[in-house]
Amino acid sequence: MSGKFDKEDMKKAVVFAGALCVVVLFSQLIGKIGVIGYGIVRLFKAMTPIIIGCVIAFLLCPIMNFFKERLTKLFRKMMKEENAPKADKIANILSVFLSILVFLALISGLLWILIPKLRDSIMELYDKLPDYISNFQAWVTKVLSNDKDLAIMLNESLDKLRQAVAGIINDKLLPNMDTIIKTISSGIVGGIKFVMNFLIGIIVAVYILGSKDELGAQCKKIIYSIFNKKRGNKVLDAFDYINSVFSGFINGKIIDSIIIGMICAVFCQGVQMPYGILISVVIGITNIIPFFGPFIGAIPSALLVLVVDPLMCVIFVIFIVILQQIDGNIIGPLILGDSTGLSSLWILFAILVGGNLFGFAGMLLGVPVFACIYTLLTILLRDRLKAKGLTNTTSYYLTLRRFDEETGEPIRGPKPKRVSVKERKKHMKHLESLHHAKEKLTHTKEPEENKETQDAESENKNNENEIKENNKSDNNNDNNNNNNKKDNIKREVNKRENNKNNNNKNDNNKNRH
């Protein structure tokens, strides 16, 4: 063994040292997970305006592209070809300005319409809540007038509930007013911070929209500097797909929710539904959440209407059921299409997991995130199956049980039934009994079979001798027949020659005469 330290040994030593450093670092990080989590939370809080700006820019990107495409054509026609870069720059600035203006106009219009209505609805609900409770109690008493015991029990339960609420107010809320005031003040401060972060986010969105082409080019530079061209193209395709899924799903859900909210508002105003605007806002906002959103908004709204007018509550529930059917079968497919490509099972899975991990944002964004992960895994599986010479179509594997290990051919058909231990023992005993019975039969039939075989052999020999003798006689007869045929042929030939000679003689005699 040589004492030199070559390159391979150097590589192994570096890999071992790197692995050891990773293990040590990981062990150190495990003990400081709380500190790391706190630092990550602080980092996200500090980046809140930037995150809000990125979200606003992402939502406004289609509007900006719409304005930019038309303004670029307009300014290039108005200006000379030499000033094309200047025309593009002016079109970019104006498209950013117009998209932000549209965004602020939409928010201002919604707030101007909704805030007064919401304030009036909430104040009316606060003022009339005791009357609604008493009316509801009287309605229940009237309905249950035939069953006095049940009515008395229900009234006692309501009295107990009222006493419990009064006890909570007197025992817990009033003594803890300091903490409540602190909580309210912190909530107000948080609301003010959110407004400030939102305004800063709009400014960040302006910069992102104005320089999105340069940011895209820089991201491409980073990607192609890390990966080769083939891998870089795949990474860019993946980002394009993620962009299309997120933009299609989020923008589509926002448009769909606005339409559903407007339809609900028109219906509530038409039938004079109590708190129609408040209910329409709740239905529209919760409709953004897939699958569970309609139920989350409909249940509290129905309870609110039930307190005021039970008959109107029944009408509202019927309307919501019909509206959700129209949304799920007509409006949603027209706007969203198959933007995610997920089945109902995976949508439910994404909403549950995302909601438990990240709350409302997880319920909203869980579906597109999971759709991107699902698609990327599908592409990886397709490439792996293709490398092994297998197809990616799911229908191919429906009836597949396994592959033959020697030939590699697929084995299809239903799975064999599993046999229990008792049935297997019974089957083995049955086979053993059959085997013993067969052996007994063979022992009893052996002498008879020997005699039969000897007689059959003698008969076969006699038959063979007879066949040989018959063949010999047949051969002799054939030889005699052949000899007779030859003699007859010779006689006929001799007769013909004699006739020819006689005819020739007669002809010669005639010629002489």
User: How far, CA to CA in Å, does 331 sit from each of 124, 245, 286?
Assistant: 34, 18, 16
The share of the chain scoring above pLDDT 70, in percent, equals 71
Phi, psi angle pair for 378, to nearest 5°: -65, -40
The 3-state DSSP class for residue 80 equals: coil
Question: Residue 254: which H helix or E strand, with range?
Answer: helix 229-270
Q: Euclidean distance between the first and final Cα of the chain, in Å?
A: 133
Please give the pLDDT value at position 418.
65
The predicted structure's pLDDT at residue 247: 81
Choose among 203, 204, 209: nearest CA to 93.
209
Query: What's residue 92's pLDDT?
Result: 86
Any idea where the domains of the chain sit in the sequence?
A: 10-42, 229-339, 341-413, 427-472
Q: Using one digit for the tens of pLDDT, what is the confidence trace for 299-349?
A: 888 888 887 777 888 888 899 888 888 887 787 777 766 666 777 778 788
Which helix (H) or strand (E) segment holds residue 83: the answer is: none
165-174, 179-188, 481-490: least confidently modelled range: 481-490
Tell me how crowded residue 114 is: count the other CB atoms within 10 A of its CB: 17
Which token pair is 467?
Answer: 């066949």
Token representation of residue 77 = 């026609």
Q: Which of 75-89, 117-131, 455-469, 489-503 is predicted least confidently?
A: 455-469
DSSP for residue 287: T
CA 93 to chain CA centroid, nearest Å: 40
The CA distances from residue 189 to 29, 41, 186, 248, in Å, are 34, 19, 5, 35
Would the pTM count as exceeding 0.75? no
| Residues 368/250, Cβ–Cβ less than 8 Å | yes
Rg (CA), the chain: 48
* 411 and 397 Cβ atoms separated by less than 8 Å: no
Task: Tell me the per-residue pLDDT of 411-447, one tens digit each, with 9 for 90 and over.
Answer: 776 666 665 666 767 767 777 777 777 677 666 654 5
Biggest alpha carbon distance in the chain? 178
Rounded to 5°, the CA angle 2-5-8 comes to 110
Reduce the secondary structure of 404-472 to three states and give it as a string.
CCCCCCEEECCCCCCCCHHHHHHHHHHHHHHHHHHHHHHHHHHHHHHHHHHHHHHHHHHHHHHHHHHHH
Q: Which amino acid is at 440?
A: K
Among 312, 307, 305, residue whose Cα is nearest residue 278: 305
- What 3-state class would DSSP assign to 45? helix
Owner of token pair 């599908």: 378
Residue 102, judged by CB atoms within 10 A of its CB (0-12, 13-18, 19+), counts as: middle
How far apart are alpha carbons 345 and 393 in whole angstroms? 19
Task: Tokens 């054509």: give the residue.
Answer: 73
